[in-house]
Structure 1
Amino acid sequence: MPGLRRDLGLLRDRRFALLLAARTISVLGTAFAPVALAFGVLGLPGATATTLSAVLTAEALPMVLFMLVGGVIADRLPRHRVMMVGESLNAAAYFCLAAMMLTGWTPLPALVTASAVSGIASAVLFPALTGIIPDVVPADRLQTANALLGLGQNIARVTGLVLSGAAVVLLGGGWALTASGAMFAVAAVLIALLRLTPAERAAGGGHSVLAELRDGWREFVSRQWLWVVVAQFSVLVMALQAAHGVLGPLVAKQSLGGAPAWSAVLAGEAVGMIVGVVVTLRLRPRRPILFATLLTLPTAAPYVLLGLSAPLWTVVGGAFVMGVCFDIFGVLWQTTMQREIPAESLSRVSSYDALGSLMFGPLGLLLAGPVAIGVGPRPALVACGAVIILVTLAALLAPGVRGLRVADDEPAGVPAATR
């Protein structure tokens, strides 16, 4: 209990409390956004699935294309200002989308442009968020800070998923999008209040963007544990996208009664995510990357169980375990990056991490349909689970993954001597 009270004492730190509030509110807005946008677009006169696809692609593509540039910007400029700009861009994009929905003026080019601005905002925000946490909290509180941020974000994510559908039904897509924009605007104001001192801000760089990207790449590839796990996740996320986005819902519709069954699976995962973050408040493994990588093995459970026609309650239990494991992994991963990577390169390295981990995700979505038709959705789910297990075992062969140790008193940004 004394340790837990000390962890929760971080909430009394003004700057961390502002960052926590900003991220929680922003994630709540992000959780509202997909449902509001999807039903808002589909509710337009003459809109089809192709219309929604174009709008969503316009958001996803710039996020990928600008991720590396966002890392350079966040390493050059004060990160709280970069985050403030990102949240403001998101607010502007969603206010514009809401205005179009409410007024009935919804030309596709305008919808696509507003969505693209939101994608750019996400590319700016993510690398800055990873880098700003060591600027706000002491080195020995990094894991606690990441856990508390994750807890707030997961609660916001679950709340948003629950409330967004009701908001769309009761208020309509336009007003729900307005609510999302307002949340992003509030987050921008809270970030602006951080007021980091000059000594804590990233120094501006005088090199070209390409030169800074090369520097960030050298930092990335110089750490075996880092690039091996990112390579693992590039394949793992591809399997997850196929299983979670297409194959799982398909089996639920065919055999388990449809949306209620899949909602139960998602609820199990959501509860597991919250539990996982709570666990990390006290968890301090000596080999964090080894421990975190081992935790990705059980994430195959819900897909294998679903593929083997196991009872629904076991699939929900598997989804709970997956949520616990992924959130413990996330906290340990972020904390290790913040401890091991020099502060001046942290945002660029995190942008390579995000880009590498997510780059094959769309391929998984693309292949899921044809594979489900060719071999059936249940065998395809078992295959996805097997891919997750095999790629994780391959990652565990790397000495850097197994051997990285982090001392409790190691300051942020200083490499471990045992790397």
Structure 2
Amino acid sequence: MTVTAAGPAAHDTAGRPAHRDPGVLRWLAAYTSSMLGDSVYYLALSWAAVRAGTPTQAGIVMSVSALPRAALLLAGGVIADRLGPRRVVIGSDAVRCAAALAVAALLFLTGPGLWPLALLALVFGAVDAVFLPAVGALPARITAPDQLARVQGLRGLAVRFASVAGAPLGGLGVALGGAATAFALAGLLIAVSVPLLVSVRLRDLPADGTDAPRGTAWTDLKDGLRHIRRHRVLAPLMLTIALGDLGFAGPLNVGLTLLADRRGWGAAGMGWVLAGFGAGAGAASLLLTVRGRVPRAGLVTGCACVTGSVAVGALAFVPALAAAVGVAVLVGLLTGLSGALCGALLQTQADPAHLGRVAAVAGLVSLGLAPLSMPFAAAAIGVWGPGPVFAVSAAVCGLGGAVALVAPGLRRAELPG
């Protein structure tokens, strides 16, 4: 795929901070709208599945998308690199929009059924497998390398906004016309992203390599994995991401629910803790958006991971709700900062021709490995209580930070500036 030339209009934005770049702002609006559509879709799918079947059947429908997503994610990275990330994101959003609107029309004409919902979940899972690597590779094509940390901050703010606003929007859709209306709303929100992405101009990148002769898709995949394995920054960075997410997923998902139940905080208390985490993560995203560049990014990433792991472990030993909310704010701030810096380092360190495959591997270690810890964390808390389980999870997170501090290439890694 030939990268769209930057052209005069794109060069006029050179030197602008990302939050003042019209192209970046159009991308941000498209990404936010797409994420809002995702949030509404998941609420609509959950509501429709519960109405159409038993709780067990609804759980199966909700988890159906995980298998094709994990199985096809690496192939999605190859596709993103071969076709270009913007083209893949546009195509993915178009398919997801059409699928959501088709199910909405079906539900308007008939009643809720499990098979259409399961099929929709499969489609979304398969499309996510190409969408996620392309989304991860796109920022480097729309802004200068020295603005990537700021773009990661903007992306984090968009994710937080979508998670906060998506549920009420989905609930409003369900209240007005049931799941069919909510699915239609999700499809329309995703559709908004398409013309916005079409209008985004891409930058020419050095050593892009996308016009070079290619072998098979399997050869491309092996080449991408070899690029990561031999890279002095990317290899330890992938291990840091994997360990951090593996230790983080259990306590902050199922573990927090069980902890709130044991402490007597109830659903409202758990909501306050989650709100504290969201506020901390949002503050980290805002900090990166305003500041733009963090000196000694590799070192800061490792320190944030280690310190954040201590905060994760402390959650299980804080008896008062107010103190737990404060600790959750610290967890969100540190993990949000390390996560955004990891994303920026991935995009600046990876060869432009391998960005999609690098993003796919990062997504696989997060989406494929991290959820595996949740059932084990729940079972372990039932046997030993939250304290030991949170402590072990914190140690795993801290090990990820230790990798970043011990690996010389990652520890000394800098963002362009």
Return closer, same or farther for 1:336/1:359 CA change in 2, 3 Å cut-off.
same
How many Å apart are 1:197 and its aligned residue?
Answer: 7.7
Work out whether residues 305 and 314 of structure 1, in 8 Å CA contact, stay in contact via their aligned partners in 2: no
What is the 5 A alignment of 1:16-95? Answer: 16-44=24-52, 47-95=53-101
Alpha-carbon distance in structure 2 between the residues aligned to 1:309 and 1:273: 20
Matched, 1:264 2:272: yes
Change (3 A) 1:336 1:256: same
**How far has the Cα of 1:303 moved from its partner?**
4.1
Output one character per residue of 1:179-217: Cα deviation in whole Å (capped at 9) or x when no partner: 111111111222123254888987355321000001101
Q: Which residue of 2 aligns with 1:244?
A: 252
Q: Which residue identity is paired with 1:143?
A: A
Q: 1:135 to 1:368 in 2, by over 3 A?
A: same
Superposition deviation, residue 100 in structure 1: 4.2
Percentage of matched positions with identical amino acids: 27
Map 1:291-302 onto structure 2 (within 5 A): 291-301=300-310
Distance change in 2, residues 1:251/1:346 (3 Å): same
Q: Is the contact between residue 18 and residue 194 of structure 1 (CA under 8 Å) also seen in structure 2?
A: yes
- Equivalent residue number for residue 194 of structure 1: 200
Q: 1: CA distance between counterparts of 2:331 and 2:180?
A: 34
Looking at structure 2, the residues matched to 292 and 170 of structure 1 have their Cα atoms a distance apart, in angstroms, of: 45
Residue type matched to 1:385 in 2?
A
RMSD over equivalenced CA pairs, Å: 2.6
Farther-moved stretch of structure 1 (242-251 vs 398-407): 398-407
Q: 1:211 aligned to 2:226?
A: no
Render the CA deviation track for 1:119-154: whole Å, top value 9, x for unaligned. 122221121122222221223322223322332332
Specify the SS of the correspondent of 2:214. Answer: coil
* Structure 1 residues 274 and 71: CA distance shift in structure 2, 3 A: same
CA displacement at 1:347 relative to structure 2: 1.0
Question: 1:132 maps to which residue?
Answer: 138
The one-letter amino acid of 1:123's match is: A
Residue 404 of structure 1: SS of its match in structure 2? Answer: coil
Once the two structures are superposed, residues 250-272 of structure 1 have per-residue CA deviations (whole angstroms, 9 ceiling, x without a partner) of 22123233211111111111111
Q: Provide the C-alpha distance between the structure 1 equivalents of 2:286 and 2:16, rounded to a whole number of angstroms.
A: 11
* CA distance 1:282–1:393, change in 2 (3 Å): same
Q: 1:345 aligns with which of 322, 345, 354?
A: 354
Shift of 1:38: 1.3
CA distance in 2, matches of 1:115, 1:354: 19
Q: Does 2:131 correspond to 1:122?
A: no
Aligned length: 401
| 1:227-256 deviation per Cα after TM superposition (whole angstroms, max 9, x unaligned) | 223223323323322212212112212323
**Out of 310, 333, 343, which is 1:334 matched to?**
343
Gaps (5+ residues) in structure 1?
1-5, 409-419
**Is residue 230–residue 357 contact of structure 1 (8 Å, CA) maintained in 2?**
no
Taking structure 2 as the reference length, what is the TM-score of the superposition?
A: 0.87
Distance across 2 between alignment mates of 1:171 and 1:301: 46
Is residue 360 from structure 1 mapped to residue 388 from structure 2 by the alignment? no
Between the aligned partners of 2:254 and 2:205, the Cα distance in structure 1 is 48
Distance 1:117 1:199, change over 3 A: same
C-alpha contact 1:79 1:202 (8 A) present in aligned 2:
no
Residue 380 in structure 1 maps to residue 386 in structure 2: no
